[in-house]
A and B are shown apart, each in its own frame.
Chain A
Amino acid sequence: MTGVDFLNKLKQQFADGVVTANLEAIDPWIEVSPSALVEICRYLRDEPDLRFEVLNCVTAVDYFEPDPKKAKKVDWEPHLEVVYHVSSVTHKHSLVLKINLARWKDDQEGQLPEVPSVAAVWSTADWHEREVFDLSGINFTGHPDLRRILCPEDWVGHPLRKDYEMPLEYHGIRGR
């Protein structure tokens, strides 16, 4: 099965869940809406033709240009993308799912945007979502244990955000 089949199947099942897709990309991806994410993932995992039983990777990309000069040249609005790479051991195919998010919830800086957690579908998501929360600052609602995983618990900020600034000092250790 290829990208177009996955897209058709998903469109049939979740007409409102599929936002857009890019099948010409090197790795074809399908963008879905956050509200339909968990249902779509469960369907992808359980449907006999699809059987995406492995979640390879969850990650987030921050589209934000801190430099105002460069920011004028970019052709996208600032946003966050959560990217899910899933694959099937049974059928040996793979797919990329994306979610498009505002950088801050309700446009209030510091309020983390929310995505439903898929940890109940694939256990891999448990630690991966913790890492995305830790480094990219995304709140996974319904996650069983959402806390920092790589950074210390009292760390401030989310380092993989493009506007992150390295702290000057951490417990008496100079940062720069």
Chain B
Amino acid sequence: MATAEDPRIIEFDVRTDEMLVNMGPQHPSTHGVLRLVLRTDGEVVSEVMPHIGYLHRCAEKIGENLTTRQWVPYTDRMDYLAAMNMNLGWALTVEKLLEHELPEKARHLRVIIAEMGRIASHLVGMGAYGLDLGTFSPFLYAFREREKILDLFEDVCGARLTTSYLTPGGATADLPGGWLQKCEKFLDQFIPNIQEYHTLLTSNAIFIKRTAGIGVLAPEMALDYGCTGPVLRGSGVDYDLRRDGEERYTEMYDGYAFEVVCERDGHYPRDHDYPPVPSETVLGDCWHRFYVRMLEVVQAIDLVRQAMDRYSTASGNWGEPIKITQKIPRGEVYLETEAPRGQMGFYLVSDGSSIPWRVRARSSSFCNLSVCPEICRGCLIADVPAIVGSTDIVMGEIDR
């Protein structure tokens, strides 16, 4: 048998041809049913072609046949990991067209619920990202905490996942008695656990190797593709609708103290409590997107605490929902809110009846996924799940 002394001979023998590799639609690390067709040369990916639509349920068409309140459950089923935030986006859009003003207490209730939803969603984002990279434990740690939040949601509205709780006009019910104490207790025991996640992932040497410098997204490209949320802020763009959005949305957060999580001069807000940014990372890579999410969890805890204080002293009620058959004035509105995955927009056109003429959901994950072919170009096959996972997409929201 001939042995190759000269390494160049081996190089010649194992030269590769370009090949199309199909990934999905049932790939476990694609956050739903996403199909990616990769054009590869050996291990190097030269092109990624996402194929979406496997979860398309015609939500927008259904919306043309239901009243605005009846469509609330359909918003849950878009981003099913952050159902509360989706409810909120739709509720605010309908209220914008109705020019409906909420009682003060209802606004603080919404902040509590929306920020708890953000924590729950980012926990899945973190846990599932661990799965994408081949580590199973963080997922269990994340779900341990998430279960408790879902228990709290169950107390509030009877449902854990498809909540339909925040509806146009306010919410379906007030927080039950003793809920705030339970929530407080949860936050107290949750905060020390965050260090565990950082030990498991953020400062883990393997995790850093898999994410640092991978899938770098320049801020200009992020804006060009309409990327929003942690994907945009991970690229160093200081933009968060809770501060920069429309008044109807930002007034919810009026007087709250919070700082938009984004890198400024090499530092994140309050990052001294958490692992430092490793030197091998580049702004806009997978690691930064992940880190923004982790810090947003801390920020959300802070906001929930502030909201609970305000809620217990606020005047008014929790906000009675509008009638199921409430007539919506003629006109059209568009409103975006800062959902955990990015800016979730709803567009509502009404002809004056109770059933909208047209509804439209602008999905944040849709835009965040559309940039993946750009940032995956030239990466290794094993990095594709790392990059797609770092955008934290939910297919239910992309396909609607």
Contacts and interface: CB of A to CB of B under 8 A. Distances in A.
Nearest to A65: B351
Contacts, number: 81
A55 B366 CA distance: 13
Interface string A123-158: 110110000000100000000000011111000000
B224 A126 contact: no
Nearest to B225: A123
A11 B61 CA distance: 36
B9 to A, nearest CB: 42
Contacts of B97: 26
A159 B333 CA distance: 22
B360 A59 contact: yes
A152 B53 contact: yes
B226 A56 contact: yes
Interface in A105-135: 122-124, 126-127, 135
* Residue from A27, A61, A83, A92 with most neighbouring chain B CB atoms (10 Å): A27
Contact of B357 (A61, A127, A149): A61
A85 B345 contact: yes
Contact of B52 (A57, A59, A149): A149
Interface string B345-362: 101010100000110101
A54 interface: yes
B334 interface: yes
Contacts of A53: 223-224
B95 to A, nearest CB: 11
Given A26-B97, A57-B362, A151-B56, A89 B237 contact: yes
A122 to B, nearest CB: 6
Contacts of A135: 60
A38 interface: no
B22 to A, nearest CB: 16
A122 B97 CA distance: 28
B158 interface: no
A101 interface: no
Nearest to B248: A26
Given A57-B334, A57-B345, A59-B347, A89 B362 contact: no
A1 interface: no
Tell me the interface secondary structure of chain B in the complex. mixed
B145 interface: no
A96 interface: yes
A26 B224 contact: no
A25 interface: yes
A151 B53 CA distance: 6
A17 to B, nearest CB: 22
Contacts of A102: none
* Residue from A59, A122, A151 with most neighbouring chain B CB atoms (10 Å): A59
B219 to A, nearest CB: 9
A56 B362 contact: yes
Given A57-B345, A126-B370, A127-B370, A160 B61 contact: yes
Contact of B60 (A54, A57, A122, A160): A160
A25 B226 contact: no
A61 B60 CA distance: 11
B344 to A, nearest CB: 11
Nearest to A92: B244
Contacts of B221: 123
Interface of B: 52-53, 56, 58, 60-61, 96-97, 99, 221, 223-226, 237, 239, 244, 246, 331-334, 336, 343, 345, 347, 349, 351, 357-358, 360, 362, 366-367, 370-371, 399-400
Interface of A: 25-27, 53-57, 59, 61-62, 74, 83, 85, 89, 92, 94, 96, 122-124, 126-127, 135, 148-152, 159-160
Given A53-B223, A56-B362, A57-B345, 20 more contacts: A26-B96, A26-B97, A26-B332, A54-B223, A56-B345, A57-B360, A57-B362, A61-B358, A85-B362, A89-B239, A123-B221, A124-B225, A124-B226, A135-B60, A148-B53, A149-B53, A150-B56, A150-B399, A151-B56, A160-B358
18 contacts: A25-B332, A53-B223, A53-B224, A54-B223, A56-B226, A56-B345, A57-B345, A59-B347, A59-B362, A61-B357, A74-B351, A89-B237, A92-B244, A123-B226, A127-B367, A150-B399, A150-B400, A160-B61
